[in-house]
Amino acid sequence: MKTQTSLRVGVCMGIPRGTVDMWAGPLWSDTEAQQQCPGRCEQFGGGKFTGQWRTPEETWGKNSVCNCEYPLAC
């Protein structure tokens, strides 16, 4: 899966830093996002799910993104 960044602050040793949108596959509800996104964020360097998610218009029905926050320090 690809990673899409929204407000990328930097990368340290291949791990994103700051607030980043991570592709999560299709999410159909907030309940589903709250269940799946924490693991998706954790999967890439220990990020924390911010509680925000969205489905970009161009990927409707195919892919959603979870908003993840990563520490700024390396």
pLDDT in tens, 39-59: 999 987 789 999 999 999 888
Q: Among 12, 26, 18, which Cα is nearest to 54's?
A: 26
Q: What is the mean pLDDT of residues 4-18?
A: 55
**Burial environment of residue 46 by CB neighbours within 10 A (0 to 12, 13 to 18, 19 or more):** exposed
Tokens 């998706």 locate to 40
pLDDT band of 8, cuts 50, 70, 90: very low
Q: What is the dihedral of CA 52, 56, 57, 62, to 10 degrees?
A: -110
Residue 61 reports pLDDT greater than 50: yes
Pick the CATH number of 3-70 from 2.30.40.10, 3.90.1170.30, 3.30.1490.230, 3.40.430.10: 3.30.1490.230
The residue written with tokens 């990368």 in the block is 11
- pTM summary value: 0.73
